[in-house]
Structure 1
């Protein structure tokens, strides 16, 4: 699948914010950029904490920026990290993305020294539980 202009803009936003990640413990910086239903791009990076479970993933930070910006739907998301292996959202982030995205939304995962991996949320989180289960 070839890279679109939108993917290029998402990649650039994810990489720009990844440079600002706070990762003094793992040194594994991650950036995420969301194309929201309002047509804007919202980005976030991971933020570590000495009490490890208290940190934020990049996807969570990007979702928070999207909500703060007034948008409510994810139409595409791009995640970048170091190395050659595609950096996919963790299980918790997959569920957080599901809250604001339909299963057919594409997630592009990228270890910036390797190849992009393009998968739908449904492929990354099959048989997911979402707002539709609660009548939303």
Structure 2
């Protein structure tokens, strides 16, 4: 099963009663295991969780901290890209050359990389003593 297919399947479990905008994400870790996540909305809107964050949390909970591929899908007219916060979260666990596939449920696909989505990502390199 492709990463986009995994994201497509899990998207059906998204909890989006307010926006009706269901998003599914799948990430492949360095070990090859696929972790998935969905957006989970909350009546207190800013307290929701993005699909990418859910997939990352599942990966970390399983003891892994490196991702090598990302896929995100939504029922939108254009391929959905990770939000700014999720771009930073993905960059925490993946290199700038990690491929990112953004797709629609209608079959439109766009390919990019984490580095193209978030040039100049904040990293632990900035946290050194200076």
TM-score range, shorter chain: over 0.9
Runs of 4+ in 1 over 2 A off after TM superposition: 131-135
Q: What CA deviation, in whole Å up to 9, does each residue of 1:71-124 have, x standing for no partner? A: 110100000000330110000000000100111111100112142111011111
| TM-score of the two chains, using structure 2 as the length reference | 0.93
Distance 1:19 1:40 in 2: 21
- Please tell me whether the aligned partners of residues 4 and 101 of structure 2 are also in contact (alpha carbons under 8 angstroms): no
Which of 14, 38, 48 in structure 2 is aligned with 1:21?
A: 14
Does residue 1:51 correspond to 2:44, yes or no? Answer: yes
Q: Give the structure 1 partner of residue 81 of structure 2.
A: 88
More deviation, 49-58/113-122: 113-122
Q: Give the structure 2 partner of residue 125 of structure 1.
A: 118
Distance 1:116 1:133 in 2: 34
Does residue 1:99 correspond to 2:92, yes or no? Answer: yes
**1:106-121 alignment, distance < 5 Å:** 106-121=99-114
Q: What CA deviation, in whole Å up to 9, does each residue of 1:32-88 have, x standing for no partner? A: 000001110000000000000000000000000000111110100000000330110
Aligned length: 128
More deviation, 50-59/115-124: 115-124
Show structure 2 runs of 5+ residues with no match. Answer: none
Distance 2:31 2:127 in 1: 24
Show structure 1 runs of 5+ residues with no match. Answer: 1-7
| Counterpart secondary structure, 1:44 | strand
| Counterpart secondary structure, 1:118 | strand
| TM-score of the two chains, using structure 1 as the length reference | 0.89
Which of 64, 68, 73 in structure 1 is aligned with 2:61?
A: 68
